[in-house]
Structure 1
Amino acid sequence: MRAWVLSQSKPNGGEQAVGQLREFIAEGGFEPGVRLPPERELCETLGMTRNTLRRALDALEREGALWRHVGKGTFVSSAEAAPADPMVELGRQITPFRMMRARLAIEPAIAREAAVNASGKALMTMQLAMERAHSAPDWAEYERQDDLFHRAIAEASDNLLLLTLFDQLNGVRRAVAWGNVVRESQRPSPDHSSFAEHEAIAMEIASRRPEGAYEAMRNHLKSVSERLFGEA
């Protein structure tokens, strides 16, 4: 395998990071079926942050150049060789609006269960995600923390079936084409409505109010839907 030589200028995200990762794979002689090094090693080799690397990996996975196996790693593939992922295929067929309707049907019920079963650790995980979302330097990091917040609620339900259902729902959400979403700022403003909405959900869960948690999550998702589509 040819040694990889770092370029003098480090990528700061987007297409440059994707191009650098693509070049690393080509120059490194990674053939279809070969597993890439772990993320930590890739970050050190490519001079990328973990978030930048993950966005680049996501982009190449959508192209079919990579595929992932949970617990085993990320593998190189051709579009023909990549194993079919039913969640990704479903995400390519569903509209963002239908995706939001599915979230409205499922996530409030998960929040209700979280209010019954949440542990102290789960509540701390939610709080940490909210704090990091507030201080996120850009939309990508905010969205990552938003994702972690919602998954923490699913974990707090203490129900493996609900957590698995959430992960599948989230897998489809990631695959949906959100090309119509335009960001007008580098990061969320301090009065971004989701901050207060997340706090309301967390408070209802921490206070052990199942129906309040259900309504708080439903109100949050309706608010997101209204911002995206003009209607809930």
Structure 2
Amino acid sequence: MSETNALADQLRKMIVAQKYGLSDRLPPERELCQAFNVTRHQMRTALALLEKNGLIWRHVGRGTFVGPRPVLNLEEVAYLSELVSAEQIVTVRHSIEPELARLAAENANKSDLVRIRDCATGCTQAADWRGYEAWDTNLHLAIARAAHNKLYLYFFETLNVVRRGMVWKQTRTTPGPAQDYCSFEQHESIVAAIETGDARRAKKAMSAHLKSVYARVFPEMR
């Protein structure tokens, strides 16, 4: 493993260990250089690699953020959030995400598959609900990116931002997901289908997963 790849891997592990979520800002480059005892050039090269892989994005004057670079007009999304209901979000997710899973099974490359599998593993290893939800968000995003359809990705990201701004009626009775949490098996079905290129099964598995999730949030919608 090259020096750059090794540092990038250390940074990725730090993001996981410290439970940074999607769009969270990382410490300044100066602090990262001190923490990892590297030069500014070495740090920027490693960050550039993570950015290339869609794990972070950087904005001059604002900092470095977790996740892919947003392509949305956030003012418009905020306005949209005021107009839609939770039920409408559920309906649109059921329309978009199964199709994204189907396209991912057809179009995912090796790097996409590694990222999807890493996110699914992150879900099962999360120590608490906050960590699980961050990894779950990243998993669905990784699948959307693996579809390699920019228009669908734009719709998905818009939906995702609106969804994350909604208050959901889900009561947590444990500190984190149990080892037999139902979504783990559902995630595995989706990921396995994408890995084997089974588009029909991937679409069906994603649909079943979303129905299960929202049956817990909105029992009346069963």
**Is the aligned partner of 1:107 residue 2:97?**
yes
8 A contact 2:104–2:194 mirrored in 1: yes
8 A contact 1:92–1:176 mirrored in 2: no
8 A contact 1:95–1:177 mirrored in 2: no
Please give the residue correspondences for 1:1-232 in structure 2 after superposition, counting only pairs within 5 Å: 39-41=26-28, 71=59, 73=62, 85-178=75-168, 180-230=169-219, 231-232=221-222
Mark the runs of 5 or more structure 2 residues left unpaired by the alignment.
1-24, 32-57, 64-72
CA separation in 2, counterparts of 1:176 and 1:96? 7
Mark the runs of 5 or more structure 1 residues left unpaired by the alignment.
1-37, 45-69, 75-82
Aligned alpha-carbon RMSD (Å)? 2.4
CA separation in 1, counterparts of 2:193 and 2:77? 31
Amino acid at match of 1:184: T
CA separation in 1, counterparts of 2:159 and 2:59? 19
Secondary structure of the equivalent of 1:40?
coil
Offset of 1:225 from its aligned partner? 0.9
8 A contact 1:129–1:146 mirrored in 2: yes
Q: How many residue pairs align between the two structures?
A: 162
CA separation in 1, counterparts of 2:74 and 2:182? 37
Offset of 1:39 from its aligned partner? 3.2
8 A contact 2:170–2:216 mirrored in 1: no
Q: Which runs of 4+ in 1 moved over 6 A?
A: none
In structure 2, the CA distance between the partners of 1:173 and 1:221, relative to structure 1 (3 Å rule), is: same
Secondary structure of the equivalent of 1:85?
helix
In structure 2, the CA distance between the partners of 1:121 and 1:84, relative to structure 1 (3 Å rule), is: closer
8 A contact 1:88–1:172 mirrored in 2: yes
8 A contact 2:100–2:144 mirrored in 1: yes
Secondary structure of the equivalent of 1:124?
helix
8 A contact 1:112–1:213 mirrored in 2: yes
CA separation in 2, counterparts of 1:146 and 1:207? 21
In structure 2, the CA distance between the partners of 1:84 and 1:223, relative to structure 1 (3 Å rule), is: closer
Offset of 1:94 from its aligned partner? 2.2
CA separation in 2, counterparts of 1:100 and 1:199? 22
8 A contact 1:94–1:176 mirrored in 2: no
Matched with 1:63 is none
8 A contact 2:190–2:206 mirrored in 1: yes
**CA displacement 1:63-87 (0-9 Å, x = unmatched):** xxxxxxx84538xxxxxxxx97121
TM-score normalised per structure 2: 0.67
